[in-house]
Amino acid sequence: MKKLYKNPLIILALGLIIIISASAGAARAAIVYQSAAERVNFSTATISVEVQEKTDEGYVAVENELNFSEVAKDEKFKVGKIYNESVRIVNNSNQETGYSEYVRVVVRKNWYKDGKSTNLDPDLIELGIADGWYLNPDETTTEQAVYYMTTPLGCGNAAEFLVSVQVKNKLTSFVETKPYVENGVEIEGTIVNEYLYDGQAFQIEIQADAVQTHNSEDAIYAAWGIKATCDGQDDGNILTIGGKPVN
């Protein structure tokens, strides 16, 4: 099961910028393996992760939207300012039947205007990621970053993922000088600076999913299609992904 949360947050800074923040609940993975005696199918009901956001009242489960409480406290969004936000992933599987989990988070960043993607660089959107997450270069592009938590997330435990949000100062350098036009007539000797990001929006999408830690390497490959090595057959720490060390 996968959930997607979106929230438009309107902010002003030299032009209109709209932040649309999004996250997703777990896409649960059922793992099948062959034991010496029988074939076992693990129920997807025992694997579950939840996205939570820190607010002034503490951490709350994200039901419909992210609020980015620190951003909301500013009357005007400031380009270049680092906003300390906190989004975490929680293993909320059943305490009696749940497992420790390996967690993957996919982050996508894009710029839009009038509902269409634009050529502004997604790298201008800077996200601070907590320690303990490995960015897999083999799955990462300008628009998409794929992170793996390198240690198992125990049933009932939480791991911080996103710690900050920033739009880089470089954004303000994207200016185009044009002749000034009034009522369809170009006014000679008059120019105007047009901020290329005016009216644009950037969209952040966070998609989290999890897989059990039993029979770890086979489970990771079956769920995510990547080859990993772990320091234990069950509940081991991840040592490598795609042949590359994670630390």
Segment 132-172, tens digit of pLDDT: 999 999 999 988 999 999 999 999 999 999 999 998 989 88
9, pLDDT greater than 70: no
Pick 170 or 75 by higher pLDDT: 170
32, pLDDT greater than 60: no
DSSP per position, the chain: ---EEEEEEEEESSSEEEEEEEEE---B---EEE-SS-EEE--GGG--EEEEEEETTEEEE-SS----HHHHHSSS--TTPPB---EEEEE-S-TTT---EEEEEEEEEEEEETTEE-SS-GGGEEEEE-TTEEE-GGG--SSEEEEEESS-B-TT-EEEEEEEEEE-GGGGG-EEEEEEEETTEEEEEEEEEEETTTTEEEEEEEEEEEEE-TTHHHHHHHHH---EEESSTTTPPEEEETTEE--
Tell me how far apart the alpha carbons of residues 87 and 130 are, in angstroms, rounded to a whole number: 10
Pick 241 or 44 by higher pLDDT: 241
pLDDT of residue 102: 94
218, pLDDT greater than 80: yes
> Is the pTM for the entire model greater than 0.85?
no
pLDDT of residue 90: 93
Burial 185-208, CB ≥16 within 10 A → b, else e: eeeeeeeeeebbbeebbbbbbbbb
**Paired tokens of 110:** 């894009």
Q: Mean pLDDT across the chain, nearest whole number? A: 78
Tell me how far apart the alpha carbons of residues 44 and 197 are, in angstroms, rounded to a whole number: 44
pLDDT of residue 83: 92
Amino acid at 107: V
Residues 42-65 have a mean pLDDT of 77
> Cβ(107)–Cβ(144) under 8 Å?
yes
> Cα angle at 50 between 46 and 53, to 5 degrees?
165
Beta bridge partners of 71: none
Residues 33-41 have a mean pLDDT of 36
